[in-house]
Amino acid sequence: MLPVRLLVVEDDKKIASFVLNGLKQSGFAVDHAANGEDAYALASATPYDAAIVDVMIPKMDGITLVQNLRKDSIRIPVIFLSAKGSVEDRVKGLQSGGDDYLTKPFSFTELIARVQALIRRSTDKGAEQTKLLAGDLQLNLLTREVNRAGQKIELQPREFALLEYLMRNAGKVVTKTMILEHIFDYSFDPQTNVVDVLVHRLRTKVDKDFPKKLIQTYRGMGYALKT
């Protein structure tokens, strides 16, 4: 399973910027669409873990967008955002195929909590899949805590996302392009060294003080976490 990738559908530039920046800083990979038609194209082509959809968007409103996705058997979990907070509006959103409904203005902390809860409910193992283990290394998906051999390791959001990606793909080599796609976003130039820098930072925290090194480099190929 890949790190969490979200689709944000919001035409208000200020709100979109606020949500996108906050999600990226929290370690999520995020794509953005400013209208329903673009969102439909993205959701039809990309296996997102969840979508945050404004109800009132141009070209195809959020309700219609989700209804069309459901008709196409695209089961991406959806949180609706709307300035309309009546019981009728909430019911309409949920009946159209939405999984949650958040009224504007909203707390970003609450949005993150709802996204995480939605993803946990939609995973095959549900809420039981809360920890990843690799040797003496443990990552808690709920508390976002990491420890190795009982020693707590403090990670930045993207370091956490990279470690989660490596642990979910333990034993497999992941390329720099794969890391760019799932940890960063499509705006990053694959020729930059952002991946090397991120791996170096993570390796310093996860491997430096331990005799057994878990993060391996495969020159010309990529990286792998091996126990």
Question: 114 and 137, same structural domain?
Answer: no
Asked which of 104, 122, 140 is the last residue of a domain, the reply is 122
pLDDT in tens, 6-55: 999 999 998 888 889 888 877 788 999 999 999 999 999 888 889 999 99
Question: 196 and 161, same structural domain?
Answer: yes
pLDDT at 128: 45
Q: Are strands 78-82 and 50-54 parallel, antiparallel or unpaired?
A: parallel
Asked which of 67, 101, 122 is the last residue of a domain, the reply is 122
CATH of the domain at 169: 1.10.10.10
Sequence-distant (6+) residues with CB within 8 A of 3 are 27, 28, 29, 161, 164, 165, 168, 182, 183
Residue 151 predicted with pLDDT over 80:
yes
CATH of the domain at 88: 3.40.50.2300
pLDDT at 202: 96
- Asked if 47 contacts 116 with a C-beta cutoff of 8 angstroms, the reply is no
Separation in Å, CA 54 to CA 14, 41, 95, 145: 13, 16, 16, 31
Mean of the pLDDT values across residues 84-102?
A: 79
Q: How far apart are CA 25 and CA 123, in angstroms?
A: 23
Question: 203 and 180, same structural domain?
Answer: yes
Q: Write out the two tokens for 58.
A: 């141009």
Question: 149 and 97, same structural domain?
Answer: no
Q: How far apart are CA 203 and CA 172, in angstroms?
A: 17
Mean of the pLDDT values across residues 196-220?
A: 93
Question: 145 and 36, same structural domain?
Answer: no
What confidence tier does 188 reach under pLDDT thresholds 50, 70, 90?
Answer: low
Question: 148 and 94, same structural domain?
Answer: no
Question: 166 and 99, same structural domain?
Answer: no
Mean per-residue pLDDT of the chain: 84
Question: 109 and 16, same structural domain?
Answer: yes
Question: 159 and 81, same structural domain?
Answer: no
Mean of the pLDDT values across residues 182-199?
A: 72
Q: Write out the two tokens for 42.
A: 């993205």
Domain count of the chain? 2
Asked which of 122, 151, 182 is the last residue of a domain, the reply is 122
Question: 113 and 16, same structural domain?
Answer: yes
- Asked if 145 contacts 75 with a C-beta cutoff of 8 angstroms, the reply is no
Question: Is this model's pTM higher than 0.85 or not?
Answer: no
Q: Provide the residue range defining the domain that includes 199.
A: 131-225
Question: 165 and 92, same structural domain?
Answer: no
pLDDT at 5: 86
What confidence tier does 195 reach under pLDDT thresholds 50, 70, 90?
Answer: confident
CB atoms within 10 A of CB 31: 19
Question: 150 and 104, same structural domain?
Answer: no
Q: Which residue has the higher pLDDT, 113 or 213?
A: 213
The answer to which of 54-58, 85-89, 162-166, 221-225 has the lowest mean pLDDT is: 85-89
Residue 184 predicted with pLDDT over 70:
no
